Structure 1
Amino acid sequence: MKLPLRMPGRRALPMPLWLQGVFELAQSAVISGLLILVPLAAVWLAGGFGDRTPDAMAQLGGQIWLLIHGVPLEVTFAAAEPDGAGTTGILSLVPLGLTLIPFLLSWRAGRRLARASYSDQLWQGVVGALGIYAVIGASVAYLSSTAEAAIQLAAGALIPLLSAGLGLVIGAYREAGAWSRLIGVDGVAWLARTSQHSRWAGSYAWSCLRAGFVALTISLGLSAVLLAVTFGFRWAEMAAVYQRLDAGIIGGSALTLAQLGFLPNLVVWTLSWASGAGFALGSGSAITPLTTSAGPLPALPVLGAVPPGTLEYGLAALAIPVLAGLLAGWWFFREGENHLDEWLEIKMEARWFTASVSTVCAAVLIGLAAGAMAAVVAWLSHASLGLGRLVDLGPNPLWVGLFIAGEVAVGVVVGYAAGPLLEREKRA
């Protein structure tokens, strides 16, 4: 059955869907590339890159474009001695704030493709869009490879498809209003053919997954507030780094824009710090709520906000994931989808036992969902400069996932248990 995705009153563009997909994502690639090249050109014209040629600046822009898509570079550093051999390492540095640029442009393209197609035709536009993006990525990787930074063509073609494809699919979903419509399936009719137990199990699992997402979102929001407060308290130290760099107006502006691109990474690192897992600023370093142990750091103003030494109030930050779990447990209670509790209540009469078991099971599942998502964002925020100690920058995804899972689960138990008290109607 064909389910139309077209919006009422809108006409599809008079071109084949695959060609529209090519046009949409090629446009996204060009716009995202220009947003990188324009600031680079401004710094270059101000003399910020020495005697680099325009070709070298274009290659640097291509390398940055690939980096924001998550493509690693194999960099070679010159030897300290004239007769020595150079050092080779992997530069993996994904500024998540800048990654939002191609993601949002692809999200817009997905919405436009969904408007112009029926659900059983959408794949044509998606194939065309992802195909041209892979070609552009491979071309940029080929043209941007230098003796100092080598890029694998397969990585340049395939890795950018992750952010572009995710934006494309989510944009199409926002336009369609349901995942099933994207593949031409009548979700209501399909659910009607399943058993009641299957529907309960599905809605229960989906609610636990969404509650885990709620917990992670709240944790990141509270971590962003904590990061902003830290910036406020340590503004003097950050300003001192700016003064020592003396980069000028254009150079300082470009440096600030680059640091803004890494703000989402810093929020994830703050969450890792607040969970107790901590993060690293170089091999052998550890920045945790209890203490800071780090060697020499790069001269970046934003790193001036790293708390020094031992913190007396550090353990208070552990309340962030617990509070997020509490709110997620309350949200789960409001959803009313705890079908495991309903099933246990039918099977057993001991209400104290069934309520306890269902609450603990929900807390474990929500905690695992939040921990898995936290591990993914921690992995995305991890970085490597490919040289010396600076091959380990950021949190350990496994430890972040475990800490967040346990702390959120504790909060969910409290939040779900307090749900009836928070939702009790006021007497007239």
Structure 2
Amino acid sequence: MKLRADQTGERGLPMPLWLQGALESAQAAIISALVVIAPIVAAWATSGFQNSGFEVLARLAGQAWLLIHGVPLHLTTIEGSAASQSDAGTLSLIPLGLTLIPFLLAWRAGRRLARASYTDQLWQALLGSWLVYGAFGAATGFVCRTTDVAINLWFAALIPLVPFALGMVVGARREAGSWSRLIGVDAVAWISRTSQHSRWAGSYVASVAKAATVAVIAAFALSSALLAVNLLIHWDLIIAVYEGLDAGAIGGAVLTIAQLGYLPNLAVYALAWASGSGFALGAGSQAGPLATAVGPLPSIPVFAALPSGYLEYGFVALVVPVLAGILGGWWFLRAGENHFDEWLAIKIRARWFTATVSTLALGIVIGAVAGALGGVLAWLARGSVGIGRLTDIGPDPMWTAVWLAAEVGAGVVIGYAAGPWLERQQNVPEEDLQSAV
């Protein structure tokens, strides 16, 4: 990476990297805030708020900006004149779709800073950027606190840095092309100095992690497809809720944007549903592939698509994580990095035994990693809306991880065992196919 010509000051001197990082983060913070403010202003323009004061709208926008970054908001409502008659809760349900906005802005900033930095100087730009973004979050939390909404200033300063810093690092890595160019450490040279057994172990672990990622991505994609089909099937019910709300064009548009913001959360809920662990829509409720038992829900259109009652063929959805595991096992076979199997074959001559043990071990380790990744997704997608029954929304991370680990692991064993047959089918010569026909 080298300095670009347009990253200079008035006299042709290079702009300090910390200053450029600060400017990039300020730009990302302002743009993401404007994206949040736009629907709020639209709703205000159509008299969508009972209290239309400027300060109220500004604080609401700031609170929404903090929420999309994952900052929990502590809500308090007072019923009547007595302060003792109050209800409190925490709003922590993050709209992951809207969280992509600061992430993508940070990704762009990371690429720009990587182009403007030498390999050993990028930390200066990142440090300046993160300090300014953290200060922006703390200032927003300080200004937007009210008697009804309490905000922890440490959370407001540090939590927004998680999606922002992750986006910057990913963008800088994308621009640099390799971690060695990004941080100045030649990983290939370091690995070449290790022993052969260490290299085998490292490549095995790396391939396990990649195969588990492939399986989770496949399961997430298949679950998202199930969600899309379910929304299409129940589209008439969703439209009926829209018509019943009669929110008008602007109100309907704002409601739709909010639902799109939670669409990735719904996709994770679909993944948990397909795994069998299910998810909650309120305290004491449970939605799963066999049956759904939930209490009264708010008039949100997408809730109309929720399957209800006993599902006769719901158990078929359990095949989704297994299919994803089959794909992950096949991918691992094609990677050709099963060095544990090779090591066992050297130590023990009974091939039937070593092949069985190494394949089962592979299913266990890939399933465990896939389950951990699924648990992280469930943890990110779950939360609380603060007050009332809806203090428990989303899948349970532990049970989601357990179910996914078991199902993906079983699929990995099947995919790895069936992989050689699939490879032979792909490698059949064309003349043999013609003669068979």
TM class by shorter-chain length? Answer: over 0.9
Deviations 1:234-264 (A, max 9, x none): 1121111111111000000110011001000
Please give the residue correspondences for 1:408-423 in structure 2 after superposition, counting only pairs within 5 Å: 408-423=408-423
Matched residue type, 2:144:
S
State the alpha-carbon separation in 2 of the partners of residues 426 and 351 from structure 1.
Answer: 26
Please give the residue correspondences for 1:206-355 in structure 2 after superposition, counting only pairs within 5 Å: 206-355=206-355
Q: Compute the TM-score of the two structures, normalised by the length of structure 1.
A: 0.96
Greater alpha carbon shift after TM alignment, 392-401 vs 51-60: 51-60
1:72 aligns with 2:44: no
State the alpha-carbon separation in 2 of the partners of residues 192 and 12 from structure 1.
Answer: 39
State the alpha-carbon separation in 1 of the partners of residues 113 and 374 from structure 2.
Answer: 31
State the alpha-carbon separation in 1 of the partners of residues 398 and 239 from structure 2.
Answer: 34
Asked if the contact 1:75–1:88 (Cα under 8 Å) also holds between the matched residues in 2, the reply is yes
Asked if the contact 1:341–1:354 (Cα under 8 Å) also holds between the matched residues in 2, the reply is yes
Q: CA deviation at 1:388?
A: 2.5
State the alpha-carbon separation in 2 of the partners of residues 411 and 229 from structure 1.
Answer: 24
State the alpha-carbon separation in 1 of the partners of residues 337 and 223 from structure 2.
Answer: 29
Cα 1:88–1:354 shift into 2, 3 Å? same
Structure 2 counterpart SS, 1:87: strand
Deviations 1:44-76 (A, max 9, x none): 011111232111101100000000000000111
Matched residue type, 2:237:
E
Tell me the percent identity. 56
State the alpha-carbon separation in 2 of the partners of residues 365 and 268 from structure 1.
Answer: 22
Q: CA deviation at 1:120?
A: 1.3
Matched residue type, 1:232:
L
Q: CA deviation at 1:82?
A: 6.0
Matched residue type, 1:37:
I
Greater alpha carbon shift after TM alignment, 14-23 vs 273-282: 14-23
Query: What RMSD, in angstroms, separates the aligned Cα atoms of the two structures?
Result: 1.3
Asked if the contact 1:68–1:94 (Cα under 8 Å) also holds between the matched residues in 2, the reply is yes
State the alpha-carbon separation in 1 of the partners of residues 56 and 199 from structure 2.
Answer: 58
1:35 aligns with 2:26: no
State the alpha-carbon separation in 2 of the partners of residues 77 and 316 from structure 1.
Answer: 44
State the alpha-carbon separation in 2 of the partners of residues 188 and 209 from structure 1.
Answer: 19
Please give the residue correspondences for 1:16-415 in structure 2 after superposition, counting only pairs within 5 Å: 16-79=16-79, 85-415=85-415
State the alpha-carbon separation in 1 of the partners of residues 2 and 190 from structure 2.
Answer: 22
Q: CA deviation at 1:191?
A: 1.2
Q: CA deviation at 1:84?
A: 5.0
State the alpha-carbon separation in 1 of the partners of residues 301 and 203 from structure 2.
Answer: 47
State the alpha-carbon separation in 2 of the partners of residues 168 and 84 from structure 1.
Answer: 46
Q: CA deviation at 1:81?
A: 7.4
Asked if the contact 1:181–1:187 (Cα under 8 Å) also holds between the matched residues in 2, the reply is no
State the alpha-carbon separation in 1 of the partners of residues 344 and 51 from structure 2.
Answer: 73
Q: CA deviation at 1:83?
A: 7.0
Asked if the contact 1:241–1:300 (Cα under 8 Å) also holds between the matched residues in 2, the reply is yes
1:426 aligns with 2:428: yes
Matched residue type, 1:374:
G
Aligned residues: 422
Instruction: Extract unaligned runs of 5+ from structure 2.
Output: 9-14, 432-437
Asked if the contact 1:12–1:117 (Cα under 8 Å) also holds between the matched residues in 2, the reply is no
Deviations 1:187-233 (A, max 9, x none): 12111111111111111101101111111101110011100110111
Matched residue type, 1:177:
G
2:7 aligned partner: 13
Deviations 1:147-192 (A, max 9, x none): 1111111000000010001111111111122223332101121111
State the alpha-carbon separation in 2 of the partners of residues 299 and 318 from structure 1.
Answer: 30
State the alpha-carbon separation in 1 of the partners of residues 301 and 413 from structure 2.
Answer: 41
Deviations 1:76-113 (A, max 9, x none): 11226767521111111200000000001101111111
Q: CA deviation at 1:341?
A: 1.1
Matched residue type, 1:205:
V
Instruction: Extract unaligned runs of 5+ from structure 1.
Output: none
State the alpha-carbon separation in 1 of the partners of residues 6 and 350 from structure 2.
Answer: 60
Matched residue type, 1:360:
L
State the alpha-carbon separation in 2 of the partners of residues 79 and 87 from structure 1.
Answer: 8
State the alpha-carbon separation in 1 of the partners of residues 80 and 231 from structure 2.
Answer: 36
Asked if the contact 1:94–1:380 (Cα under 8 Å) also holds between the matched residues in 2, the reply is yes
State the alpha-carbon separation in 2 of the partners of residues 12 and 283 from structure 1.
Answer: 56
State the alpha-carbon separation in 1 of the partners of residues 230 and 179 from structure 2.
Answer: 40
Q: CA deviation at 1:11?
A: 3.6
Cα 1:394–1:81 shift into 2, 3 Å? farther
State the alpha-carbon separation in 1 of the partners of residues 403 and 219 from structure 2.
Answer: 13
Structure 2 counterpart SS, 1:384: coil
Matched residue type, 1:198:
S
Matched residue type, 1:146:
T
Cα 1:221–1:153 shift into 2, 3 Å? same
Q: Compute the TM-score of the two structures, normalised by the length of structure 2.
A: 0.94
